[in-house]
Homo-oligomer: A and B are copies of this chain.
Amino acid sequence: MEPEDWHLVRSTPLFGRIPKDVTARLVGSSGPRCYEKGALLFQQGDPADAFYVILEGWVKIARLTSEGGEAVVGMFRRGETFAEAAMFLGGRYPANAEVVAPSRLLKIDGENLRKSIRENPDLALCMLASASHHLKFLVEQIEQIKLLSAPQRIADFLIQQCRTRRGSCVVVLPYEKALIANRLGMKPESFSRAIGRLRNLGVSVDHEYVSIADVATLVAFVEKSSVES
């Protein structure tokens, strides 16, 4: 494995706080693999035998219904791990994983993980911390869907894209608008209209570049449902 890749793996919360040799053993000998956009890593119901580290690219986790509906429950990027919780769910992945941008991924064997945990309690604590953060994220997602309007969810998304909490800033949308719309639980048409309605809050869109006059305005808008759009 390339030194940059190793460094990236060691920077994840899962692999960073455990002895190097444990990390090395988990990663195993099989190197990273490249995937095209559109590739399916696993599907709901498949045997859950491995999880992944993203060295490059984007992966979408979603649930599908028999009727063609899709609910995005997570978007993961470079430096993040996903599906590790599925290693403890009794054998099956609970959702689909699809590569949505050209990616390079590291596949980690689940059985290997379970063995390492018994020998290294610190690893278990890391996994618990990771799972807890993921839980918190999902709780926030539910809150967002349940009590924010479409423009507010977009505003919230934009806020999270920029580092700062006030002042002006330009964010580059990380992936297609239709995907963002899906992640935020709305249709592409609604996304387009809703982000347009943020214009008089100082948000202007030019292709994938979104410039925000004052992030604080957006923060206020997300927190107070009474603010006019």
Contacts and interface: CB of A to CB of B under 8 A. Distances in A.
Interface string A58-97: 0000010111011101000000000001111100001100
Contacts of A125: 88, 114, 117-118, 124
A132 to B, nearest CB: 4
Contacts of A224: 66-67
A142 B73 contact: yes
A146 B145 contact: yes
A5 to B, nearest CB: 26
Nearest to A226: B67
Contact of A63 (B71, B87, B139, B223): B139
A87 B141 CA distance: 20
Given A135-B135, A224-B67, A145 B147 contact: no
A118 B46 CA distance: 32
A171 interface: no
Contacts of A118: 121, 125
Contacts of A146: 69, 71, 145, 185
A173 interface: no
A127 to B, nearest CB: 6
A202 B94 CA distance: 31
A124 B117 contact: yes
Given A121-B117, A131-B135, A143 B85 contact: no
Interface of A: 63, 65-67, 69-71, 73, 85-89, 94-95, 114, 117-118, 121, 124-125, 127-129, 131-136, 138-143, 145-147, 185, 223-226
Q: Which 9 A-B pairs have the closest CB atoms?
A: A124-B124, A131-B131, A138-B138, A69-B147, A71-B146, A88-B132, A71-B143, A85-B132, A63-B143
